[in-house]
Amino acid sequence: MSNMKGVFSTLGASNHSNTIREQNDYYATDPIAAELLLELETFNPNIWECACGAGHLSKVLEKHGYNVTSSDLIYRGYGEGGVDFLKQNVCFDGDIITNPPYKYAKEFVEHAIESVPEGNKVAMFLRLLFLESQSRRDLFDRYPPKTIYVASKRINCAHGGDFEACQGSAQAYAWFIWERGYQGSTIVKWFN
Ligand SMILES: C[S@@+](CC[C@H](N)C(=O)[O-])C[C@H]1O[C@@H](n2cnc3c(N)ncnc32)[C@H](O)[C@@H]1O
């Protein structure tokens, strides 16, 4: 199922309210993160950006020729809105790439891995401190990432998509790459 537009379980247009918008902290990723990712890894021609925001990652992937399905819980002017990724029960015939909502990052990682076929990839742009904490230990035991690319130079994620107001990131980020079925050691590399 490479093109899933129109087949999502949507929540309806009423979800475009300010209340819900505020409940789902939106940080847009500097598109350079996607440009750099594509220098590090190759992906299936079909990609699902399942928390696409305003499309900062999707647009770069499309520019590089990927067939990108973009969805988000909230419609932010890009892709299909009203789609709760955690409630989609599909096997997506491709790879999944996103910067997920931090609050549900663990759930997104698990659900993404379980939504792609064996051997397919999940790439998540996550805070480096996602590596720590007891609550995520079981995730890493069950699903060890294949590679983690740590950003040596910090990459901005702008609150509300406002890169002007957000000068210099306080957070260290990394691209975490999972390959469904991989059970080996995790390799750590550096980029940027
Ligand atoms: C950190 S922002 C990243 C946006 C975009 N991926 C980017 O990199 O610019 C996380 C996004 O996740 C969306 N989101 C939150 N909960 C979601 C859910 N359950 N299903 C789908 N999207 C969700 C938010 O609306 C927000 O746009």
Distance 192 CA to ligand 1 centre (A): 24
For residue 186, is it within any domain? yes
SS3 9: coil
Range of the domain at 101: 13-191
The two tokens of residue 123 are 């790439």
Q: Take atom 13 of ligand 1 and give the residue whose Cα is closest.
A: 51
For residue 82, is it within any domain? yes
How large is the average pLDDT for residues 144-155?
A: 95
31 pLDDT band (50/70/90 cuts)?
very high
| Number of domains present in the structure of the chain | 1
Q: Which atom of ligand 1 is nearest to the CA of 87?
A: 19
165 pLDDT band (50/70/90 cuts)?
confident
For residue 8, is it within any domain? no
CATH of the domain at 107: 3.40.50.150
For residue 41, is it within any domain? yes
d(CA 72, CA 53): 6
The pLDDT of residue 135 is above 60: yes
pTM given for the model: 0.91
For residue 1, is it within any domain? no
SS3 123: strand
For residue 114, is it within any domain? yes
For ligand 1, which residues put their CB under 6 angstroms from it?
Answer: 24, 26-29, 51-53, 56-57, 72-74, 76, 84-86, 98-101, 104
For residue 2, is it within any domain? no
